[in-house]
């Protein structure tokens, strides 16, 4: 089946630094990827839709200058949390739509971000 690889799985950083999270589709080309955020014991909330070659579409309330998304190739989307603060600590998950499997989305394994 389709594989979505997400790195790193865990990152700890100091407040004020920036962190980049990568989401790769390993055996297919993903024109669209999605970034979710999950707080402890809560559901997944969509942050933004990443489209290859164009600007990302952010959900209401998500700061686009805070969460920079780049989808420069058909196999890679990155989420950069800029000037991270403790309240940005969360679990971030990417997912990708698999061409030919219109109703299926495959998820990465997630990244636990802890900002000290």
Which CB, 66 or 106, lies closer to other proteins?
A: 106
Task: Report if residue 17 touches other proteins, rule: CB under 8 A.
Answer: no
C-alpha–C-alpha distance, residues 91 and 87, integer Å = 12
Task: Report if residue 11 touches other proteins, rule: CB under 8 A.
Answer: no
CB atoms under 10 Å from CB of 50, counted, come to 25
Q: Please classify residue 109 by burial: count the beta carbons closer than 10 Å to its beta carbon, then call 0-12 exposed, 13-18 middle and 19+ buried.
A: exposed
Which CB, 79 or 93, lies closer to other proteins?
A: 93
Task: Report if residue 114 touches other proteins, rule: CB under 8 A.
Answer: no
Tokens 């686009």 found at? 64
Tokens 């058909």 found at? 74
Which CB, 14 or 60, lies closer to other proteins?
A: 60
Q: In the window 42-101, what residues touch other proteins (CB under 8 A)?
A: 42-46, 49, 57, 91, 93, 95, 97
Task: Report if residue 107 touches other proteins, rule: CB under 8 A.
Answer: yes
């Amino acid at each position: 089946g389709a594989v979505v690889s997400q790195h790193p799985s865990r990152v700890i950083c100091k407040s004020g630094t920036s962190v980049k999270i990568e989401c790769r589709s390993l055996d297919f080309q993903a024109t669209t990827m999605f970034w979710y955020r999950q707080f402890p014991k809560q559901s997944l909330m969509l942050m933004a839709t990443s489209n290859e070659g164009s600007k990302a579409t952010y959900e209401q309330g998500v700061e686009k200058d805070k969460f920079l998304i780049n989808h420069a190739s058909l196999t890679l989307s990155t989420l950069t949390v800029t000037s991270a603060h403790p309240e940005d600590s969360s679990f971030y998950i990417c997912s990708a739509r698999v061409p030919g499997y219109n109703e299926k989305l495959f998820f990465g394994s997630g990244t636990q971000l802890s900002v000290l």
